[in-house]
Amino acid sequence: MRAWTAPDVPTLDGRGGRLRVHDTALDELVEIEPDNNEARLYVCGITPYDATHLGHANTYVAYDLMYRVLLDCGHRVVYTQNVTDVDDPLLERAEATGVDWEELAEGQITLFREDMTALRVVPPQHYVGAVEAIPSVVDLIESLKLTGAIYQVDDAEYPDWYFEVHRAPGFGRLSKLSDDEASAVFAERGGDPERPGKKHPLDCLVWRLERPGEPSWESRLGRGRPGWHIECTAIALQHLGAAFDVQGGGSDLIFPHHEMCAAEGAVATRQPFAKTYVHSGMVGLHGEKMSKSKGNLVLVSRLRSSGADPTAIRLALLAQHYRDDWEWTADSLREAQQRLARWRDAVARSAAPSADSLIDALRAALRTDLDAPAALAAMDAWAEQPGADPDAGATVVQAVDALLGVRL
C-alpha cells in the first residue's frame, strides 16, 4: 500500500549517545541497540473508520519522534506500519452507516495520509494492509500449525482457527495480568473468552471462516479472513524479521494485541518477537478516552480545515510526554500557537545565543525516553535569552526541524 509524502529531515552535525526508552515488559528504560546499525521499528497502524483523531495523531507523532531520534543517533531506520483494513470494528461501522467497507477504509486511509503529511510524520517504508498481507498471514498460521499451537475450535458450524497462547513461554510478561483480569480486558478489546470449544479462554482467533455477508478469501485454512493479532505478527515478521528493535502503539494495545503478537511471533520463530515494547499514553476529551464509540473525537482534518496550523497541532501534542495520559482542551492548541510564534520570532532575531548547548539539551532530553516536554522547555529558554551569534537562528531552525519535526 502507498504510504504518504515524506518530509525533509535535515541531518545535524555530531551525534553520540543512544536512545533509551521505557520498555513495557521490563518496566524500565532500555537502550536501543540495533544490529548492524539498522533500527527496525513496527508501529501498529489505524483501523480505518474514525481517523485521524488526536489520539491517533499523538501516537504517530510519538513514534515519529522515535524515528527522528534514531536517525540522529546515526542509525538507519526500517519502519513498518500496518492498516487493519479488514476487521470486525470496520465491518460493523460500514454496516451501521450503510457504506461499503472498502470505500469506508479507502476514504479514511486517504484522510490519514493527508493528516500525517500535514503533521510532518515520516512515512514507513513498508505500509501494509491486512488484506494484502493475507498470503503471509496464511503462511504464518501454517508454520504455527507445524508447532502444534494452532487448532480448530470445537464448533460444528464455524470451526475457526485459534492460537494456543500458553505455548509461548513468556505469555503474560507484557501485560502482567492475572487470568481473570486478562479475560475481562480480552472481552472488552475484541477477544472472545467465553466462546465454547476453545482450549483456553485467552486463546486468540487467527483465521475466521466465512460468515454470510462478510468478506472472505480462499485459503488452505478454508475461505475466511485473518484475525487481528496474526495480521501484525505476519506483517512485522515479513518486513522486519524476528527480534526487531521496537514494537510500538498506544497503551490500549498492550493487552491483548501486543501480548498476542509477542506470543505468536515467539512460537513461530523461537526468538523474541520484538526486543522492546513501547507504549504511548491515551488522549482523552471531557474525561474519557477519545474514541468514536464515545463520540468525543477531535479530528486532525477538522482542526486543519478550521484554520489550525498543523505545526501548532504537532507542537500541542509534543507538549505532553508520550507516555502520559492527558486531556485535549482548546487551550492545548492556543498555547502551542503562542509558543510557535515565540519560537519563530526568536529564530528570526539578528543575533541569538549559540545553538550548540541548545542542541545538546534537545538531544539529551529526547534520548532519555523521548522527553519532548523537556526539549520544548530547553527551546523556550533559548528563545528568551539574549545572545550575539548571528548564525544561531538558522542552525536552530534545522535542529528543531530534524529532531522535533517542527518547521519554524
Q: Which of these ranges, 25-33, 42-50, 98-106, 365-373, lies near ligand 5CA under the rule CB under 6 A?
A: 42-50
> Does residue number 59 form part of the binding site for ligand 5CA (CB under 6 A)?
yes
> Does residue number 249 form part of the binding site for ligand 5CA (CB under 6 A)?
yes
Q: Which of these ranges, 137-145, 231-239, 360-368, 396-404, lies near Zn ion under the rule CB under 5 A?
A: 231-239
CB of 61 to ligand 5CA, least distance (A): 10
Residues touching ligand 5CA: how many (CB under 6 A)? 20
What DSSP line would sit under 241-286, residue for residue?
-SSEEEEEEEGGGIIIIIHHHHHHHHHHHSS-SEEEEEEEPPEEET
> Does residue number 47 form part of the binding site for ligand 5CA (CB under 6 A)?
yes
Single residue of 77, 131, 149, 232 touching Zn ion by CB under 5 A: 232
Torsion angle (degrees, nearest 10) of CA 55, 59, 60, 63: 170
| Partner from ligand 5CA, Zn ion, none binding residue 45, C-beta < 5-8 Å depending on class | ligand 5CA
CB of 65 to Zn ion, least distance (A): 19
Q: Are 44 and 249 in contact (CB under 8 A)?
A: yes
Please, which residues have CB within 8 angstroms of residue 338's CB and are 6 or more apart in sequence? none
Nearest residue (CB) to ligand 5CA, 84 versus 311: 84
How far apart CA 255 and CA 185 sit, in angstroms, is 7
Single residue of 44, 297, 403, 408 touching Zn ion by CB under 5 A: 44
Query: How are strands ordered across the β-sheet holding 161-163?
Result: 150-152, 161-163, 204-209, 224-226
> Does residue number 289 form part of the binding site for ligand 5CA (CB under 6 A)?
yes
Q: Are strands 244-250 and 283-285 parallel, antiparallel or unpaired?
A: unpaired
Strands (E), 133-243: 150-152, 161-163, 204-209, 224-226
How far apart CA 268 and CA 227 sit, in angstroms, is 16
User: Nearest-CA neighbor of 258 among 163, 175, 137?
Assistant: 175
> Does residue number 233 form part of the binding site for ligand 5CA (CB under 6 A)?
no
> Does residue number 262 form part of the binding site for Zn ion (CB under 5 A)?
no
Name which of residues 70 to 99 contact ligand 5CA (CB under 6 A). Answer: 82, 84
CB of 325 to Zn ion, least distance (A): 20
Q: Which of these ranges, 96-104, 284-292, 360-368, 398-406, lies near ligand 5CA under the rule CB under 6 A?
A: 284-292
How far apart CA 321 and CA 369 sit, in angstroms, is 9
> Does residue number 240 form part of the binding site for Zn ion (CB under 5 A)?
no
Single residue of 23, 40, 56, 161 touching ligand 5CA by CB under 6 A: 56
For the chain, report the end-to-end CA distance as a whole number of angstroms: 31
> Does residue number 259 form part of the binding site for ligand 5CA (CB under 6 A)?
no
How far apart CA 14 and CA 219 sit, in angstroms, is 52
* DSSP-derived 3-state class of residue 188: helix
* Alpha-carbon distance values, 276 to 60, 243, 247, 262 (Å): 17, 9, 6, 10
| Partner from ligand 5CA, Zn ion, none binding residue 47, C-beta < 5-8 Å depending on class | ligand 5CA
- Residues binding Zn ion (CB under 5 A): 44, 232
- Residues binding ligand 5CA (CB under 6 A): 44-47, 55-56, 58-59, 82, 84, 232, 249-250, 252-253, 282-283, 289-291
